[in-house]
Each structure stands twice: as C-alpha cells, then as structure tokens.
Amino acid sequence: MIEASRVSWRYGENPVIDGVSVIARPGRVLGLIGPNGSGKTTLLRLLYGALRSPTGQVVVDGNDLSTLPAHEAARRLAVVIQETGGETTLTVAEMVLLGRGPHLSTFQRTSRVDHEIAARCLARVGAAHLGARPFARLSGGERQRVLIARALAQQATHLLLDEPTNHLDIRYQHEILHLVRTLDTCSIVVLHDLNLAARYCDDLVLLGGCGVVAAGPVGEVLDPTILEPVYGIGIRRLDLDGAIHLLFQPTDHDTATERSVAA
C-alpha cells in the first residue's frame, strides 16, 4: 500500500503538483491519467522517491519512503521508466538479472534460482527468445518488455510503471496491461489511453491544474462531465457488456468553424 499525502513539486517557479494526496491499495491497479503537462510522471516520480517532496510524505507499507535505505526501497517498489541507458552493452539476460540485485548481498553472485526467476520473467513478457541479444539493439517495444521483465524479477510488493504501453503495438499493449492486472502486487500505472485505463485499472486519479480533479473507482472517474473540461474534447461513454468505452469527438471551435462555413 502506498499512501502519499500532500506531496508537491515545482520546476522553477511553476508548481506541477501542489499538495496532492493519493492512495494505492494492495492487489489493485491504480491508473494516473490526465492531459499532457498535468504532472502524471512527476507524481509517479514522487511516489517512488526519485523526487523528494518538500511537503507531506510518501508512506510505503507503513514506512516513510524517505527513511528506507535504497536497498529496502527497491525490494518494495519496482519501477519501469523510460531511462534505457542507450549505450549499454549488457545483454538482455544481464539486464533482467540486475533486477535481482536488491535481493543479493554485496558479495553474493546471482545463483541458479535468480537465473530461473529472470528466465521466467522474460517468458512472461514474451521475450524468452531475446535473452542472449544485446539490449541496445532491441526495438523500442522489445526494450519496454525487457524492462518490465526486470521489474518483475525484482519481486517487489509494488509495481510502478510510467507509460508502459509506449512503443508497444496494440497486442502487447493489452498483454502487458493484462499481465499487470493479474499480478497480486499493488500497481500504479501512468496511462495516456483512457480506454486502456478503463479496461485494466481498478481505480483512477485524474490530474489537471496542479492537483487531483477526481479520484475513485474507474466507473466514477470516467464520467464525460468530469473528463470533458479537463481534456477539452467531446466525449461519449458507452457501457457495453459491463465494459466502459469512450469515444472522442472534437467540439467547440471545430463545430463552430463548420457552422460559420455553412452560414
């Protein structure tokens, strides 16, 4: 469980996140959504401690994150981010094995158990065949899956992902999010695509204007009357077979232009 209370961050003079509180519950998937620049990634970085909020605190399973040693924090939080170390000459297998680091003492080498865990995690993201390849020569989508495998190999109690579906084709977008959903960890996912959020998240936090616009179960947050002013686009919601689907339609000035042309 991650409980953040009144965390803030500003880049220079501009506050991006201002006194935000969120709770991610065990066994559930929390989605962070919002338009560009609404601070989704910044909030996620505050939650895993890459940024230290000057206000409030982040509590992970009862302990203040800022008091946890890096080693211990990495056993509780596994993070998938876009930093890929482009020049690295590590192989895919070696990259995934780095996820075992938080479980090993300084003098310990990776054991057969670690290798089996890493191999299993690679298989789970459909990348078992990539093991011997140099990481730097993979495609964007393959890299993304390998980084997810590394996070899985960490066997942390929480999984935090920043736009995990970037670079992935439609099939792997669904496979990866489905995988996240089937894990019994507490997961937090930053997502652009509202329909993916609708399908794979339990709870959502909608960010806009430095703070939380709405938070709660998916069905409540994905309400066109809440979303439309935040995203500035027309939204229709269809509930088909118990699943939510959102359709988007440019409004305001587009239709206004059409009308003026017709007149």
Residues in region 60-79 near other proteins by CB under 8 A: 69-75, 77-79
Residue given tokens 């439309």 in the structure block: 228
Q: CA 53, CA 56: separation in Å to the nearest integer?
A: 7
Q: CA 99, CA 159: separation in Å to the nearest integer?
A: 13
Q: Does 126 bind other proteins (CB under 8 A)?
A: no
DSSP 109: P
Q: CA 126, CA 158: separation in Å to the nearest integer?
A: 21
Q: For other proteins, give the closer residue by CB, 12 or 69.
A: 69
Q: How many residues interact with other proteins (rule CB under 8 A)?
A: 45
Q: Please pick, from the candidates 11, 13, 112, 253, the single residue that binds other proteins as defined by CB under 8 A.
A: 112
Q: For other proteins, give the closer residue by CB, 88 or 255.
A: 88
Q: Please pick, from the candidates 91, 155, 157, 195, the single residue that binds other proteins as defined by CB under 8 A.
A: 91
Q: What backbone phi and psi angles, to 5 degrees, belong to 5?
A: -125, 125
Q: Does 8 bind other proteins (CB under 8 A)?
A: no
CA distances from 214 to 35, 73, 176, 221 (A): 13, 29, 26, 6
Render 10-52 in DSSP notation, one character per residue.
EETTEEEEEEEEEEE-TT-EEEEE-STTSSHHHHHHHHHTSS-
Q: Does 20 bind other proteins (CB under 8 A)?
A: no
Q: Please pick, from the candidates 15, 35, 56, 101, the single residue that binds other proteins as defined by CB under 8 A.
A: 101
As measured in angstroms, the least distance from the Cβ of 257 to other proteins is: 44
Residues that bind other proteins (CB under 8 A): 48-50, 69-75, 77-79, 81, 83-85, 87-91, 93-94, 96-99, 101-102, 104, 106-107, 109-110, 112, 115-116, 118-119, 122, 128, 131-132, 154
